[in-house]
Amino acid sequence: MESDSASHNKQDFGKFEYGCEHYRRRCKIRAPCCDQILSCRHCHNEATSSLSNPKERHEIDRILSKYVVCSICNTEQQVAQICSNCGVKMGEYFCGICKFYDDDTQKMQFHCDECGICRVGGREKFFHCQKCCIGSCYSLNLRDNHSCVENSMKNFCPVCYEYLFDSIKNTRILKCGHTMHEECFCQMRDQNQYRCPFCCKTMLDMSAVWRLLDEEIEVTSMPLEYQHKVSILCNDCNRCSNVPFHILGHKCSNCNSYNTCRISAPSHE
């Protein structure tokens, strides 16, 4: 009779030695849509998205996957965690619902029944918001501390256009409630782009920048012919104001933001 340690060693054989750029796993999946065998759904979607015939481009429905191929012994079998032929564990983490395998459990994967997919980061660190995108998992520090925008996660990143809901990249919820990839947010921030691509509200704390503009405007007088007022709309509070024209910026008289736009021609008083 095989000892527990021998069985464990067999199951761990080849761990972290197989997989693709997306996941470390010891199996490949047979796509139910086109019958191709690939390492993971992302490999499948990347391969089909580059096909010359647009009619052949498609994405896999992971839930419909029924068969996997063990990377150790090349045995094709029905979806399961343990290979029916060689006994290897094809993924240290396994979800029979998502047909998802991954040897790297440091990601702290978990399946969310309400989202219907597997998430990473640890179940105890997330909560499920029923309103956002008709249900989505967010970090606990955002509970009662974020603006709910319906379908915010069931959308495409406004920078790279990847679908956010099942993306493997980290996401960020902006102050306005809209969502984008964390790395895309950082790229915008590094390029001094401070407004949400969806609604144009400020994504960052701009109070220090607004104070600097106050100081510059105070010491920069406009010539007499430019001393008139203009109507502006504030992108942050959505209020209109009638304010003095200045080439450096127009300050909202309601919330003091300079994230504004002119909505009328100059009016001389």
Mean pLDDT taken over the chain: 86
The set of residues, in sequence order, having a beta carbon less than 8 Å from that of 72 and lying 6+ positions away, is: 13, 14, 18, 26, 83, 86, 88
Tokens at 103, concatenated: 């040897």
Rounded distance between C-alpha atoms, residue 247 and residue 134, angstroms: 44
Tokens at 18, concatenated: 């197989």
Q: How far is CA 218 from CA 100, 215, 248, in A?
A: 60, 5, 11
Q: Which residue has the higher pLDDT, 212 or 57?
A: 212
The set of residues, in sequence order, having a beta carbon less than 8 Å from that of 29 and lying 6+ positions away, is: 37, 38, 39, 40, 41, 44, 60, 65, 67, 68, 69, 99
Pair 14, 101: CB distance under 8 Å: no
Q: What average pLDDT score do residues 69-76 get?
A: 97
Dihedral sign of CA atoms 43, 115, 110, 29 in order: negative
Give the model's confidence band at 134: pLDDT under 50 very low, under 70 low, under 90 confident, else very high: very low
Q: What average pLDDT score do residues 251-262 get?
A: 95
Q: Which residue has the higher pLDDT, 63 or 89?
A: 89
Name the pTM for this structure: 0.61
Residue with tokens 């640890």: 122
Residue 199 has pLDDT above 50, yes or no: yes
223-262 carries CATH number 1.10.3720.10 = no
The set of residues, in sequence order, having a beta carbon less than 8 Å from that of 97 and lying 6+ positions away, is: 63, 111, 116
Q: What are the residue boundaries of the structural domains of the chain, listed by start?
A: 4-104, 110-190, 223-262
